[in-house]
Structure formats: C-alpha cells, structure tokens
Amino acid sequence: MYNFDFVKPASVEDAVAALGGDEAQPLSGGMTLLPSMKQRLNAPATLVSLTGIDALKGVCRDGDMLVIGAATPHAVVARDAAADYPALAELAGQIGDPMVRNRGTIGGSLANNDPSACYPSAALASGATIVTDKREIAADDFFQGMFATALDEGEIITSVRFPIPQKAAYAKFAQPASRFALTGAFVAQYANGVRVAITGASENGVFRWSEAEAALSSNFSADALAGLAASADQMIGDLHGTPEYRAHLVGVMTRRAVAAAH
C-alpha cells in the first residue's frame, strides 16, 4: 500500500468537497478498494471515508419504498430490511462472509458495479432509484457495463430507494472460490409487471432478461419459463464456467427465484 491521506467527514457536503481534491477517492466499506490498494494496483492520494456520515446510514420505510442509506453495511440490511423487503434482506445476508457483511456497504457495491456482485441485480430488478449528492438516477440508467456506472467523478451515492414488490426472490449460484455470483437472478413482481435482473453472467455486467420478464408478467410461475433460454452470446467464460454454462444457469436460477418468490 502506498501512503495516502485519510479524511472522515461528517457530512455529505464535506465529503463532496474533499473528493474535489487531487486523486481523491471515496471509501465506503473498502472491500474492493483496500485489497487493490494493498496490491498497489490503486493509489489514491486521499481516501475520503463515507462511513462517518450518519445521513448515509440506515434502512427506513417511506410509503411503498424502502430507502437504504448508501453507507449501510450488508449485515444491517439483512437485519433491518427483513420485514419490508425480505428478498433484499436475504440477498444481503448471502454476500461474502460475516466480515464482509459488516464492512461492505450497498453504496460501495453499486458504485463499484462488479459484474459478479449481488446488489446490482436487486437494484435493477426492483427498478430502484439511486440517489446521489446531486441527482436521482434510475437503475435502468445507472449500470453501464462491467465496473461502469452513470456516476460522475466525485459524485457519491447517498441512498437507494427500492419500490417494495409484491413478491421477490434472489437465487444465486456461487462461484466456488470467491463465492461471488457465478450467476444470480433477482426476480421481482410488481403490479405493473415482473422485472428480472441477472448478475454474474454477462460480460456487460448486470442486465434485465426481457424475455423472462414478458413471460412472467403474464404468468408468474416457473413453468412460464419453460423452453426459454438465455443466449450464450456475450456471457462470461472463465475457469469456473463457459458462456454456455452461465447461459444455462440464467434459466435455472431465474426459475428457482420465481419458485422461491415471496
């Protein structure tokens, strides 16, 4: 790790100001950033910690929305979202291990947009709104490919607003080594239709599986997906699975999520 300056502001305004500095980077849970700094693959001049900002923390119900502060750790989401949005809580409870769940945050995960992370699928399948220090971004516009998002330089996520579905579930097939999602499917049913988001599988990061959404919107059952296959085109191929295997898992995990939806 190279030397860096560390600041821990108490307000979003101060954090944004600090991020205006030269080669400053925001630090939330640090579950990706810190290992890459230890490997000297990342060398920020200043780390701006977001975890000292109370306004970024916590889970609360706001009408038919569940609002989660960006710096809320996964373990807190797993606990505090369970009553209002159990599928989201279950997803949070399966991320990494207890240490990761107590350090890693939802905002950090979404901003990083790892193609194998779990949270992006929940945000996209829920049609969530990503709220930043300067605007609101629809999930459909937020995720822009592997590790790419609509966030501007220095822009920080402050909260995520999840419309609460009628039914939802997340089904994850874990990569055996990292236990990230080799393929994960988040299915959410709303009054106006079903949304299905797939993580882990595509070279373009999280995506909506529109054929499945159409089938499930008219018949929300695993049977509705019979005969539906995702294309292996642009799926990830690596030592843990071929593109064909991941395309196959897209179908399997989506069916399982539908069957488990509650």
Partner 1 sequence: MPKDGGIGASTKRREDVRFLTGNGRYTDDINLRGQAHAYFLRSQVAHGKINGIDTAAAEAMDGVIRVFTAKDFEGVGGMPCGWQITDKHGQPMQEPKHPILAEGKVRHVGDPVAVVIAETLEQARDAAEAIELDIEDLPAVVDMKAALAEGAPKVHDDLTSNLCYDWGFVEENKAAVEDAFAKAAHVTTLELVNQRLVANPMEPRVAVGDYDPWNDNSTLYTTSQNPHVIRLLMGAFVLGIPEHKLRVVAPDVGGGFGTKIFHYAEEAFCTFAARQLKRPVKWTSSRSEAFISDAHGRDHVTKIQLALDDANNFTAIRTETYANMGAYLSTFAPSVPTWLHGTLMAGNYRTPLIYVNVKAVFTNTVPVDAYRGAGRPEATFQLERVIDKAARELGVDPVELRRQNFIKADQFPYATPVAVEYDTGNYDATMDKMLEISDYAGFAARAEESKKRGKLRGFGIAHYIEACGIAPSNLVGQLGARAGLYESATVRVNATGSISIYTGSHSHGQGHETTFAQVVAEMIGIDAGQVEINHGDTANTPMGMGTYGSRSLAVGGSALVKATNKVINKAKKIAAHLLEASEADIELADGKFTVAGTDKSVDWAGVTLAAYVPHNYPLESMEPGLEETAFYDPSNFTYPSGAYGCEVEVDPETGEVEILAFTAADDFGNVVNPMIVEGQVHGGIAQGIGQALLERCVYDEDGQLVSGSYMDYAMPRADDLPNYTVDHSCVTPCTHNPLGVKGCGEAGAIGSPPAVINAVIDALQRGGHSHVTHIDMPASPSRVWAAMNAQ
Residues near partner 1 (CB under 8 A): 1, 39-40, 173, 176-178, 182, 238-242, 245, 248-249, 252
198: left (phi over 0), alpha (psi -120 to 50) or beta: beta
Determine how many CB atoms are found less than 10 A away from the CB of residue 33.
Answer: 18
150 vs 174 by CB, closer to partner 1? 174
Strands 207-208 and 193-199: antiparallel
Smallest gap from residue 258 Cβ to partner 1 (A): 14
Smallest gap from residue 178 Cβ to partner 1 (A): 4
Q: Which residue has tokens 């709220």?
A: 131
Smallest gap from residue 141 Cβ to partner 1 (A): 30
Contact 100, 74 (CB under 8 A): yes
Contact 115, 199 (CB under 8 A): yes
151 vs 250 by CB, closer to partner 1? 250
Of the candidates 245, 122, 231, 232, the one whose C-alpha atom is nearest the C-alpha of residue 176 is 245
Contact 186, 197 (CB under 8 A): yes
Determine how many CB atoms are found less than 10 A away from the CB of residue 261.
Answer: 22
73 vs 241 by CB, closer to partner 1? 241
Smallest gap from residue 241 Cβ to partner 1 (A): 4
Q: Where are the beta strands (DSSP E) in 63-126?
A: 65-69
Which tokens belong to 65? 């929305």
25 vs 242 by CB, closer to partner 1? 242
62 vs 238 by CB, closer to partner 1? 238
